[in-house]
């Protein structure tokens, strides 16, 4: 056993272990694997409502399985309450890599048997004999700023707290989890997301994160960052699945070279508790398509995301599903099948977070995504928005919205609700 592990470890050490997923180029020069393991356990649909708390060490084991399966991108968040488990798993594989480096680079005259003997002693002491070594440079770790740290001065300390949990000196990507702030007591924080974004830029300047991005921003919010000439997000993470395809937002991100990550890539298709889901995983069109490619429906959905330019973030704590979810890079969908999948778009949002719907920076108009519209006349103030239309519901221009809102005026920004498109 030690001989096999040693030989495999040498191969990994010499040639690297980049994982299964091709890399995507970000607009800041860094690269990111094109699929990630999600570590959000979901929201409870039964009282008491709220985020599902981790039990035991399921996430740590899931990360280990994921790395073994070929994932190199792990997506987590402060609010997931599992950063410590992600950190332990990452430390285990990185320590194994560093151990191998120490064994094979220490100057000494030694034959193969000598190296094997030293390696055996090292791994017996470390307890990592069955761990595939992976260097830190080959890993891509994403975590997120929670809503209770939206003040610019709170962003860096929040990231440092996450790094302590992760046992890392930096993360590869730090995301603003939501554009809205909320204190621990439930009251809303009036800090504008542009000010929070400046804090994200501060964190990057301190080399605590290589890349920065946002989650759950709408198009106007992204445009607001651009118009104010702040650093453009490298990544936008949004809910994305066949029932919520958001073509307008994807087109905007392609235009401005913002990479899109998609959480909840299966939507509510597999959630038997969601009677409101417009599509089920056993839909005849989906099962027929999966059989055609010799894959499971979940793999078809993940492959579709990749081909649409979205980096999917499937979450699982089951080894078989973790291995299946990354097994999507050995086939391509035919154009006719992609058209079938496009037609599943219903604008159905499975994670609307309606409890924040009265926040000034709530990013979703409602659970439906409406198509682009044309404005014939509109009037916008800091506190109200009225629009006259001749056909569909319309949206004031981005420039008009931005020019009439003073983001340094606390009362104005609390009364102003960004227009959603």
pLDDT category, 132, cuts 50, 70, 90? confident
Q: What domain range is 157 assigned to? A: 2-342
195, 290: one domain: yes
Q: What's the pLDDT tens digit per position in 141-161?
A: 999 999 999 999 999 999 999
331, 213: one domain: yes
Burial degree of 226 (CB within 10 A; 0-12, 13-18, 19+): middle
421 or 21, which is more confident: 21
Distance between CA atoms of 361 and 188, rounded to whole angstroms? 10
121 or 180, which is more confident: 180
Mean pLDDT calculated for residue range 372-399? 31
Neighbouring residues of 176: CB distance < 8 A, sequence distance ≥ 6: 144, 145, 193, 196, 197, 200, 213, 214, 215
Any domain includes 366: no
- Percent pLDDT > 70 in the chain is 71
Give the pLDDT confidence score for residue 5 in this predicted structure.
Answer: 52
257, 336: one domain: yes
193, 292: one domain: yes
Any domain includes 348: no
Give the pLDDT confidence score for residue 9 in this predicted structure.
Answer: 52
290, 396: one domain: no
Give the pLDDT confidence score for residue 411 in this predicted structure.
Answer: 37
408 or 107, which is more confident: 107
Asked whether the beta carbons of 220 and 420 are under 8 A apart, the reply is: yes
User: Mean pLDDT highest for which of 4-18, 258-272, 388-402?
Assistant: 258-272
Any domain includes 359: no
Distance between CA atoms of 392 and 388, rounded to whole angstroms? 10
Classify each residue of 81-96 as buried b or exposed e, where b means 16 or more C-beta atoms within 10 Å of its C-beta.
Answer: bbbbbbbbbbebbbeb
pLDDT category, 113, cuts 50, 70, 90? low
297, 391: one domain: no
Any domain includes 351: no
Window from 103-112, 146-155, 169-178, 248-257 with minimum mean pLDDT: 103-112
Mean pLDDT calculated for residue range 183-196? 96
Q: What's the pLDDT tens digit per position in 300-333?
A: 999 999 999 999 999 999 999 999 999 999 999 9
pLDDT category, 382, cuts 50, 70, 90? very low
337, 391: one domain: no
pLDDT > 90? residue 98: no
Secondary structure (DSSP) of 24-67: EE-TTS-EEES--EE----EESSSSPEEPPP-TTHHHHHHHHHH
- Percent pLDDT > 90 in the chain is 67
Its pTM stands at: 0.80
Asked whether the beta carbons of 302 and 314 are under 8 A apart, the reply is: yes
Distance between CA atoms of 358 and 370, rounded to whole angstroms? 20
Q: What is each CA distance from 138 to 99, 135, 160, 168, 169, in whole angstroms?
A: 16, 5, 22, 14, 15
Give the pLDDT confidence score for residue 373 in this predicted structure.
Answer: 34
Distance between CA atoms of 48 and 209, rounded to whole angstroms? 35
Average pLDDT, the chain: 81
| Number of residues in the chain | 421
Give the pLDDT confidence score for residue 185 in this predicted structure.
Answer: 93
Which secondary structure element, helix H or strand E, spans residue 173, and what is its range?
Answer: strand 171-176
368 or 225, which is more confident: 225
User: How many structural domains does the chain have?
Assistant: 2
User: Mean pLDDT highest for which of 8-22, 102-116, 259-273, 292-306?
Assistant: 292-306
267, 383: one domain: no
Neighbouring residues of 191: CB distance < 8 A, sequence distance ≥ 6: 150, 151, 152, 181
Any domain includes 144: yes
Q: What's the pLDDT tens digit per position in 236-281?
A: 999 999 999 999 999 999 999 999 999 999 999 998 888 889 999 9
| CATH at 226 | 3.20.20.100
């Amino acid at each position: 056993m030690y001989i096999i592990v040693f030989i495999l470890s040498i191969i990994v050490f010499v040639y690297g272990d980049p994982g299964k997923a091709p890399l995507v180029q970000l607009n800041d020069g860094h690269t990111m694997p094109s699929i990630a393991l999600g570590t959000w356990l979901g929201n409870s649909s039964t009282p008491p409502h709220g985020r599902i708390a981790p039990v035991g060490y399921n996430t740590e084991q899931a990360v280990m399985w994921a790395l073994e399966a070929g994932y190199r991108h792990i997506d987590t968040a402060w609010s997931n309450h599992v950063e410590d488990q992600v950190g332990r798993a990452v430390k285990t594989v990185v320590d194994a890599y560093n151990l191998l480096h120490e064994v094979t680079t220490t100057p000494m005259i030694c034959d193969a048997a000598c190296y094997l003997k030293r390696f055996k002693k090292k791994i017996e002491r470390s307890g990592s004999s069955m761990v595939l070594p992976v260097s830190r440079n080959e890993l891509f770790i994403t975590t997120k700023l929670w809503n209770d740290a939206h003040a610019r001065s709170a962003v860096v300390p929040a990231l440092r707290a996450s790094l302590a949990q992760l046992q890392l000196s930096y993360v590869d990507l730090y995301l603003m989890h939501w554009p809205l702030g909320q204190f621990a007591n439930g009251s809303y924080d009036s800090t504008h997301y542009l000010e929070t974004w400046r804090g994200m830029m501060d964190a990057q300047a301190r080399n605590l994160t290589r890349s920065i991005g946002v989650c759950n921003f709408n198009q106007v919010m992204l445009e607001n960052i651009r118009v104010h000439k702040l650093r453009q997000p490298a990544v936008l993470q949004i809910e994305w699945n066949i029932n919520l395809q958001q073509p307008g937002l994807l087109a905007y991100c392609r235009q401005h070279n913002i990479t899109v990550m998609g959480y909840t890539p299966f939507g509510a298709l597999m959630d038997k508790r969601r009677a409101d889901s417009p599509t089920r995983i056993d839909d005849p069109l989906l099962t027929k398509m999966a059989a055609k490619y010799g894959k499971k429906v979940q793999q078809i959905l993940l492959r579709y995301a990749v081909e649409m330019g979205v980096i999917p973030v499937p979450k699982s704590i089951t080894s078989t599903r973790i291995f299946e979810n990354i097994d999507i890079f050995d086939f391509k969908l035919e154009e006719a099948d992609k058209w079938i999948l496009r037609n599943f778009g219903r604008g159905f949002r499975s994670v609307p977070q309606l409890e924040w719907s009265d926040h000034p920076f709530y990013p979703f108009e409602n659970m439906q995504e409406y198509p682009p519209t044309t404005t014939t006349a509109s009037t916008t103030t800091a506190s109200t928005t009225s629009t006259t239309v001749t056909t569909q519901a319309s949206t004031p221009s981005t420039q008009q919205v931005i020019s009439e809102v003073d983001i340094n005026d606390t009362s104005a920004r609390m009364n102003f609700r960004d227009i959603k498109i």
